[in-house]
Chains A and B, each alone.
Chain A
Amino acid sequence: MKKTTQSEAFNLNSGNNAFTYSGAGISDIVQQRRSRLAESKKTENTPMKPVGDLDIKDIRGWTLKEPVSKNTYTVIKIQTGSGLVGYGECSQLSPAEFAEAKRIIIGTPVTSFEVVAPKLSHVTTARAAINIAMLDVTGKIAKAPIFQVLGGPTRFKARALAPLTGNTDQELINSMNRLKALGYLAFMVPIPTVVWRNQGQEYVLATRNRLDALRAAGGENTDFALDGSNKLTPGDAQMICEAIENFHVLFFNEPCLPVSIGAIKKLSAENVTPIGLGKGITGENQILDLIRDDAVDIIRPSIGLNGISQIKRMAVIAETYYIAVGPDHNGGPIGTAACLHLAASIPNFFVQKIPCPEAEEDRLMRLALVAEPVETIKEGYAPLLTGPGLGITVNEKIFEKYMEASL
């Protein structure tokens, strides 16, 4: 209705040299825009100019497996035209995803780590590793650690969180004592084994008792996060939240599946126990609803699914709501190095989870992968890595020994 009046008004004013407008003219604009968009898409697919010195020339990948824990993760290596190399790590990558990511990034300037991200939005796991590797090379070009490239250091050490392993309280105490000897002071505690839905008072008390037993054994300078691993129903989760409210955990991680924000919102409204969420998240927009609905106190995106830059973007969102960042990490030592650079690049970092496998063989593998001591903890904190890029020297020779697949 409005449009008819408007086109009349246009015709009143149209002079010789002017465009004449009608309803059809307006849809021309839409068509113009569309064709412009199509043109810009076309240029993306036109053959690239020859690979320059600082463009990505090659990418390789290896999926590695820890011998005892069977934990797997993919290490990638990119190489520029001039021969500079950078390493990255992500969660296990499929050959198809690797091939698709490779097709997109060959010929890309190695420093364009931020603008390459939207082009990889359909292969987010590969995007994580590529981001880390591109930053590694950018740091080597700048002869500076990644945190300096990204505007840090915002801190000079990063608080570390070690996941405890074991089924019984005593096994967990033993695990804690071993990790305490390594320098850790904050621990992620698994909830007691979940046997059924809505387990009631016995289970709630067992959870509280587990935390009390650990604190009694660990002393006053230890801190704990309770890890629900999405295994509880909202009903159990909210009762546990209540039961541990005055224990003052650092946070209750993944108390129940965040498939319904409603359940988490209720939990968060009922209790003051800080809530940690986000290990499965692969895009910064996915944390928006959690944050805006007051459902989370510490966002925990995984380094292996997001890389450094994506989590840095999430940290900006969290910062405007005064919310902390404590990235999840289930991969290897290259991922840990990336986490430490991220921690020193953002203002609202709180704690970094570092995998600490129980078996000696797994630990030796982690030590052998990287020449520098990446996972060395002192009084609860990890020192930063100061070499250029990631600040690590990757030992490719041992890849073969632990390799699950070559990409």
Chain B
Amino acid sequence: MKRRNFLYGIGSASALLASNKLTGQNIFPEESDDCGCYPNTSFISEQTKPRVLPTPWQRGDYDYVLSKVRITDLKTIPVSVTPTSDRPYVFVKLETNVGVVGWGEATLEGKAGSAMQAVHDLKDSIIGSDPIQVTHHWQSMWVHAFFRGGPILGSAISGIDHALWDLRGKLLGLPVYKLLGGPTDPEGVRGYYHARANSREQLIELRESAEKLGVTAFKTGLPAQTYEWIDTHAKIDRAIKQLQMIRESLGPKIDIACDFHAKTSPAVASIIIKEIEPLNLLFVEEICPPENAKAMAKITKRSTTPIATGERLIAHFGFRELIEQGIVDIIQPDCAHTGGITGVWAAGALAAASGISVAPHNCTGPIGGLAAIHTDAAMPNFIVQEVCSGVNSTENERVWEEWLGFQAQRMVNGKYPLSDKPGLGFDVNEEALKKYPFAGTVPMARVFADDGSVCGW
């Protein structure tokens, strides 16, 4: 309880920091080639007189090209749908001098506390600025960070970026997908649900529901919770047979994707994706952890099954090598981690030039998902959006309905419908959010092999 109060308090603590005389200004050490680490030029030392230069905004250079709207406050509102959730939603709210507010989501699985603090660390780039110039602010948050990239900075930038786009849309009177030059399909954005069916009977039932609902694609996972560096034939065969059963039961009309969740090594993943080649899957996802492009390339070369990855890659910079080397067929940026709408759009544009498709990942809360849908609607190389639910709506979605007034992850005829409202197209009931108080940071599940060694899931 104390912890919750403390973190709610961050919002007001920011007001205190905002009164600091150095906030929002360019601070240069006396010598321009100084790295800032010597005591005589330390930014915080009392004896020093750092050369403080006004920003271009403070000089007024930007006045003639900006709107009159200014961001007056930045708040994070963390909510835990259940006390044990490893991903309490970190909503970001930007307030302006004209009363219009923008909403975003900086949720980061297992790192709620870090994500919230990271959002507040970016405050200087945002407070007092014009929400219209989102590209400029994105650059400022990325470049001025000095330590660029990483999921914590990526998620924080994402949350602020969504809120800036929401504000931009509301101020310019257009839905975000129109500001981005969409929509490709006025009926909406094609999505896939998670299969959430294990037996043949359940799968056949799922096929019937899909036919009724117009759903055209599903995603499934591998049957074992963990895989070791090399694995036994029983576990490998089970994975192959399970995927074969899914294809047989769902039939040829439904696209099937399989998420390896980077819990397989190149050795194990290679065998499975070689054996499932004839199933013509839509894609297999995260066949190994994404930080080693060469290892992923080794698997990719061994199968014709399209390879997708990207939920843990940050900004377009994070996707460059995989695209350049022809390792991936489909990229999966996550709108709540990769740098928001600006980040997903840029990664999509980079992929498009190489003929590579985009199928954004989404496994956080409703706002990140809605931001992704707006971006999808404007990308010519978009194929399908992950809709983090099943054919039947979940408890989560009923909670989201209390917050936003609609179930934020429901498709109609296999597509996620687009709203005509300006911005991201929703209002948040803040009273309803309070019913789900933040229950603290909960790490992601820790899983182990039979011998007790550490495994990913």
Residues on A facing B (Cβ under 8 Å): 2-3, 6-7, 9-10, 13-15, 17-21, 25-26, 28-30, 32, 109, 111-115, 117-118, 138, 141-145, 147-154, 156, 284-285, 287-288, 292, 309, 312-314, 316-317, 319-321, 344-347, 383-384, 386
Q: Are A25 and B342 in contact, CB atoms less than 8 angstroms apart? A: no
Least CB separation from B347: chain A residue? A316
A97 to B172, CA, bound (A): 34
A312 to B174, CA, bound (A): 21
Q: Are B133 and A112 in contact, CB atoms less than 8 angstroms apart? A: no
Least CB separation from A151: chain B residue? B135
B280 / chain A contacts, CB cutoff of 8 Å: 26, 29-30
Contact of A320 among B200, B204, B316 (CB under 8 A): B316
Q: Are A143 and B172 in contact, CB atoms less than 8 angstroms apart? A: yes
B150 proximal to A (CB < 8 A): no
Q: Are B173 and A6 in contact, CB atoms less than 8 angstroms apart? A: no
Q: List 7 A-B contacts (CB under 8 A).
A: A2-B278, A18-B248, A114-B379, A154-B139, A285-B355, A313-B353, A320-B350
Least CB separation from A283: chain B residue? B353
B154 proximal to A (CB < 8 A): no
A320 to B313, CA, bound (A): 14
B278 / chain A contacts, CB cutoff of 8 Å: 2-3, 6-7, 26
Stretch among B26-34, B81-89, B98-106, B180-188 lining the A interface: B180-188
Least CB separation from A314: chain B residue? B353
Q: For the complex formed, measure the closest distance between the CB of A362 and the CB atoms of chain B, giving whole angstroms.
A: 29
Q: Are B378 and A284 in contact, CB atoms less than 8 angstroms apart? A: no
A14 / chain B contacts, CB cutoff of 8 Å: 248
Least CB separation from B205: chain A residue? A17
A3-B278, A142-B172 given; A345·B135 CB < 8 A: yes
Contact of B248 among A21, A118, A316 (CB under 8 A): A21
Q: For the complex formed, measure the closest distance between the CB of B51 and the CB atoms of chain A, giving whole angstroms.
A: 22
Q: For the complex formed, measure the closest distance between the CB of B236 and the CB atoms of chain A, giving whole angstroms.
A: 13
A144 / chain B contacts, CB cutoff of 8 Å: 67, 132, 172
A143 / chain B contacts, CB cutoff of 8 Å: 172-173
Q: Are A313 and B349 in contact, CB atoms less than 8 angstroms apart? A: yes
Q: Are A13 and B244 in contact, CB atoms less than 8 angstroms apart? A: yes
* 10 nearest CB pairs, A to B: A114-B181, A151-B135, A142-B172, A113-B181, A6-B278, A284-B353, A316-B349, A115-B184, A29-B252, A320-B320
Q: How large is the interface on B (under 10, 10 to 19, 20 to 34, 35 or more residues)?
A: 35 or more
Q: Are A153 and B133 in contact, CB atoms less than 8 angstroms apart? A: yes
Contact of B133 among A154, A285, A312, A319 (CB under 8 A): A154
A144-B172, A288-B353, A316-B349 given; A156·B62 CB < 8 A: yes
B275 proximal to A (CB < 8 A): yes
A112 to B181, CA, bound (A): 4
B352 proximal to A (CB < 8 A): yes
A150 to B180, CA, bound (A): 7
B168 / chain A contacts, CB cutoff of 8 Å: 151
Contact of B380 among A7, A115, A142, A150 (CB under 8 A): A115
Q: What 1/0 mask marks residues of chain B from 245 to 286 whose CB sits below 8 Å from any chain A CB?
A: 101110111000000000000000000001101101000000
A156-B56, A313-B352 given; A32·B65 CB < 8 A: no
Q: For the complex formed, measure the closest distance between the CB of B98 and the CB atoms of chain A, giving whole angstroms.
A: 14
A156 to B132, CA, bound (A): 13
B432 / chain A contacts, CB cutoff of 8 Å: none
Q: Are B139 and A347 in contact, CB atoms less than 8 angstroms apart? A: yes
Q: For the complex formed, measure the closest distance between the CB of B60 and the CB atoms of chain A, giving whole angstroms.
A: 10
Q: Are A152 and B135 in contact, CB atoms less than 8 angstroms apart? A: yes
Q: Are B65 and A386 in contact, CB atoms less than 8 angstroms apart? A: yes
A288 to B356, CA, bound (A): 13
Q: For the complex formed, measure the closest distance between the CB of A323 and the CB atoms of chain B, giving whole angstroms.
A: 12
B244 / chain A contacts, CB cutoff of 8 Å: 9-10, 13
Q: For the complex formed, measure the closest distance between the CB of B238 and the CB atoms of chain A, giving whole angstroms.
A: 13
Q: Are B174 and A153 in contact, CB atoms less than 8 angstroms apart? A: no
